[in-house]
Structure 1
Amino acid sequence: MTAQAWVVGGTGGIGAACVKSFQADGLRVHASNRPDEDITEPGVAEDVARTLASDGGFSIAVHTIGMSGRRLGDGPVSKCTDEAWEEVIRVDLTSVFRFLRACLLYAEDGASIVLIGSALAKGLDEDFLTAAYRVAKAGMHPLLEAAAYEGARRGIRVNMVSPGLVDTRMAQRALNDEYIQSRFPELMPLTKRPSTAEEVANAVQWLASDNAVQTTGAVIPVDGGWLLR
């Protein structure tokens, strides 16, 4: 049976690009999307993983969902609202924990699990002070390490791709801001532009492949030099 990949958030920018790249490689792809399979809700990730395990199994799993809490009041610590904090942590961090737990329980031995983090988790910038988002993305790092350590005994690799700004729907507020546009040579000096979803998916595809068989617990930057500032 053809190998199967599980992509959470398969209709979003990065998720859709991952689905396309895996399909181009001849894989079967199961995409979990809200509201039908909302893995931010308790028990849903394990239900989906259990079903996939009984349907030929899955050897690749990618978590791409995330949210910006700006509309809910995310911002500097002194201004971040309780609503923004709780919702961003739930979607951007707790869902990752539930996804990883499900994968470690039901993925095939030797599987590859890939998370989408963010370069905004490290470093501070006056124009990107979002306490809840930063904490959620930073919290993925020790979770990644714990899952990679646990998965290694079964040959399961767990890695993360860490983009800077990506040209997706979630980033449009920043990308349409003329001042932010003027800062691209500083923010992402390598290309002086935001990354594309396809560029992020290329890194995911490599981590999911046998070419990365010795790589686990790693964070791969696809940030155009964001963290070099």
Structure 2
Amino acid sequence: MSAVLVAGSDGGIGRACVAAVEATGGAAFGVDLAGGIDITAPGHAEQALAQATAVHGQISGVVHAVGMSGRSLGDGGVVECTDTAWHEVHRVNHESVFRLLRAAIPAMGKGGSIVVIGSALASSLDDDFRTVAYASAKGALIPLIRTAAREAAPHGVRVNLISAGLVATPMSRRARTSETVKAKLPSLMPLGAGPCEPEEVAQAVLWLLSPSSGRTTGAVIPVDGGWHLR
């Protein structure tokens, strides 16, 4: 029986995720949900994958959904961005993807799918979302996943990136409640009304994890309401 492994540094969110999977009749378990696993830290991605393999054997899919905003640390334009914001945002949003890819590709053996959640800000900027550390960290994911996809392809492992627009999550609350952003959102995301829902991004993740996308790798899939068309 297949199962979902949840690994993260926020125990509350992890337990809620496990409960949500179990409520639909699926199987799920958490790895150190009290905060012991943090894939942004050296060695932790390997620990999470080792635990998953020990409990359920072959790993068929891995999703990287770790990210942070650096505004509170001083992220902004090039001139105003602080060293702290630059280093921390890149550590969490970029370096952690490298660490997980490095651990996951050999752990998956033959076959499987890795999905990374990126951002539309990687390729299409806006003055109200001027965060150079965040945008550049997300932009750096594109050559990273393409390199990983080429390296993993002979093993049957696929690696793809979802470029998400403004999504209704707690991290985006500042932007979503800004009257300025609300006014311009129809031009930023012309397809649909308002921000994307997390479930819409999840549907794209499910497709990339499924055999239906079995010939897709190294791709950047936009789920952004048309943001990339600007």
**TM-score under structure 2 normalisation?**
0.89
Q: Which residue of 1 aligns with 2:43?
A: 43
Is the CA contact 1:3–1:58 (under 8 Å) kept in the aligned structure 2? no
Decide whether aligned partners of structure 1 residues 34 and 67 sit closer, same or farther in structure 2, where only a CA change above 3 A counts. farther
Name which structure has the greater RCO, CA cutoff 8 Å, separation 6+: 1
- Distance in 2, Cα, partners of 1:165 & 1:23: 28
- Distance in 2, Cα, partners of 1:25 & 1:111: 23
Q: Count residues in correspondence.
A: 226
Decide whether aligned partners of structure 1 residues 19 and 155 sit closer, same or farther in structure 2, where only a CA change above 3 A counts. farther
The CA RMSD over aligned residues, in Å, is 2.4
- Distance in 1, Cα, partners of 2:23 & 2:151: 29
CA deviation vs aligned residue, 1:10-40 (integer Å, no higher than 9, x gap): 9799xx7899579858454556757221111
Q: Which residue of 2 aligns with 1:100?
A: 101
Q: One-letter code of the match for 1:94? A: E
Segments of structure 1 that go 5 or more residues without pairing to the other structure are none
The structural deviation recorded for 1:150 is 1.1
Q: Secondary structure at the match of 1:205?
A: helix
Is the CA contact 1:7–1:19 (under 8 Å) kept in the aligned structure 2? no
Q: Which residue of 1 aligns with 2:2?
A: 3
Is the CA contact 1:6–1:61 (under 8 Å) kept in the aligned structure 2? no
Is the CA contact 2:61–2:209 (under 8 Å) kept in the aligned structure 1? yes
The structural deviation recorded for 1:137 is 0.2
Q: One-letter code of the match for 2:145? A: L
1:57 aligns with 2:58: yes
- Distance in 2, Cα, partners of 1:6 & 1:51: 9
**TM-score under structure 1 normalisation?**
0.90
Q: Which residue of 2 aligns with 1:175?
A: 176
Higher mean Cα deviation, 129-138 or 47-56? 47-56
The structural deviation recorded for 1:57 is 2.6
Give runs of ≥4 in structure 1 deviating > 3 Å: 4-13, 16-34
- Distance in 2, Cα, partners of 1:10 & 1:207: 25
CA deviation vs aligned residue, 1:157-203 (integer Å, no higher than 9, x gap): 11111110000000000001111111111110011310000000000
1:151 aligns with 2:152: yes
